[in-house]
A and B are shown apart, each in its own frame.
Chain A
């Protein structure tokens, strides 16, 4: 009996119920989006525990400020934005947003197909977690959430050019990290082949 039947089939119905603070609707929204949103939060803050705190805060904000949701965009988009803002708020509090690191010129990888096939989400997360917070945040916002540089600039209180340069550096660093992982795993495969 663990499954909860979807009581609100239409999104409009669900939102109406949320506006009345219906606990069933809240549960349904949580069931539907919590996992995806936890993934998002982990991408920004790095560790699962903190991400869960942000998730809880985010959902409370969603339930409290449901009246602010205008049915113009998608509901998931709105939830995603609330969560991103919550995560950015946390990072801002920690004041770790814009630390800089010196980077070597990235060695370019011609083919990402190997990494694409063999890297799973957890491994990619480990790679992304090695980025400085500023780079990671800009990369997350631009590459995964699809924000424009202008939006990122206003969200983080930086200039557009800073956003662009941070994205560039993030990409460079990620390329290096993926390449390093690529080499290591290929070596491992070769070793396994040789030993067998």
Chain B
């Protein structure tokens, strides 16, 4: 079908017509494309940031636990004999209650009350003095217990004898333990780890390096996005490089032409 002359005229002239759009048009397209990328990419970044925070938090907790775990274990071990002691002390009471001597009773009652105290106030210097006071008391205790035994012996009750026969064996055994438990306690504060964060200002060299690095990165981004590359910012002048190469080529060319001339003259 033949085209109408008017159609033909307009189609030929306007179909090929290519006016240049303003640079703002591309910038607008680019801006919206980047926004979309950011919207999509933001999701990943938030996820990555979340994982990083979780890892840092985990590390911090782990570090803290490592710092406290050692002493905590030691404390538990030390307390074990103390818990053993508590039920044993009343067992010694049974015979002592029957003892008519009141002074012995008082000392015995003081003994269980002071023992847990000594565990609680281990770090205090006062406790040291207390333990010093207690030691003679314990020494006093031993003979009283022996007195109790002698009295019990007189009553001659066989089941009680069995009960009472154990305390003299356990008491001397326990005492060194308790003193041992007391001995390392002043070291406790030394075991505490103090985490000090010291902020060191970044050196200027590093800052310069990073800025140069950032410049190069920016230009790489330009290349990636199909934008123009600002060579000046990278500190490279491609024209100079080309000029240098050009000069070298020229000198080579001259050499060759001279050789050619020489050959010509010889012929």
Chain A residues within 8 Å of B, Cβ to Cβ: 1-2, 4, 7, 21, 23-24, 26-28, 30, 34-36, 38-39, 42-43, 48, 52, 55-56, 59-60, 63, 109, 112, 115-116, 119-121, 124-125, 128, 139, 142-144, 171, 174-175, 178
* Stretch binding the partner chain, chosen from B1-9, B103-111, B123-131: B1-9
Complex CA gap A4/B222 in Å reads 12
Complex CA gap A116/B26 in Å reads 34
Complex CA gap A70/B7 in Å reads 30
B218-258 Cβ-contact flags toward A at 8 Å (1 or 0)? 00000011111101000000100000000000000000000
Query: When the two chains form the complex, which single residue of B8, B14, B29 contacts A60, counting CB atoms closer than 8 Å?
Result: B29
Complex CA gap A175/B4 in Å reads 11
Chain B residues within 8 Å of A, Cβ to Cβ: 3-22, 24-26, 28-30, 32-33, 37, 224-229, 231, 238
- Asked whether B18 lies within 8 Å of A39 as measured between CB atoms, the reply is yes
- Asked whether A39 lies within 8 Å of B19 as measured between CB atoms, the reply is yes
Q: Of all chain A residues, which has the CB nearest B4?
A: A171
Q: Can you name 18 extra interface pairs (CB under 8 A) apart from A63-B29, A116-B12, A120-B13?
A: A1-B228, A21-B37, A23-B225, A23-B226, A27-B227, A30-B26, A30-B29, A34-B20, A34-B25, A35-B19, A35-B20, A38-B18, A38-B21, A112-B8, A124-B13, A143-B6, A144-B14, A171-B6
Complex A-B: 22 CB contacts under 8 Å:
A1-B231, A23-B225, A26-B226, A30-B26, A30-B29, A34-B21, A35-B18, A35-B20, A38-B18, A38-B19, A39-B14, A39-B19, A42-B19, A55-B25, A60-B33, A63-B33, A124-B9, A124-B10, A142-B7, A143-B3, A143-B4, A143-B10
- Asked whether B9 lies within 8 Å of A112 as measured between CB atoms, the reply is yes
- CB neighbours (8 Å) of A139 from chain B are 7, 10
- CB neighbours (8 Å) of B10 from chain A are 124, 128, 139, 143-144, 174
B233 vs chain A, min Cβ distance (A): 13
Q: Of all chain B residues, which has the CB nearest A121?
A: B17
Given known A-B contacts A56-B28, A171-B6, A48 and B225 have beta carbons under 8 A apart: no
- Asked whether B29 lies within 8 Å of A59 as measured between CB atoms, the reply is yes
- CB neighbours (8 Å) of B29 from chain A are 26, 30, 56, 59-60, 63
Complex CA gap A42/B21 in Å reads 11
- CB neighbours (8 Å) of A56 from chain B are 25, 28-29
B238 vs chain A, min Cβ distance (A): 8
Complex CA gap A7/B224 in Å reads 11
B184 vs chain A, min Cβ distance (A): 67
- CB neighbours (8 Å) of A26 from chain B are 29, 33, 226
Query: When the two chains form the complex, which single residue of A21, A39, A55 contacts B17, counting CB atoms closer than 8 Å?
Result: A39
- CB neighbours (8 Å) of A36 from chain B are 18
A53 vs chain B, min Cβ distance (A): 9
Complex CA gap A39/B37 in Å reads 30
- Asked whether B14 lies within 8 Å of A125 as measured between CB atoms, the reply is yes
- CB neighbours (8 Å) of A178 from chain B are 6, 9
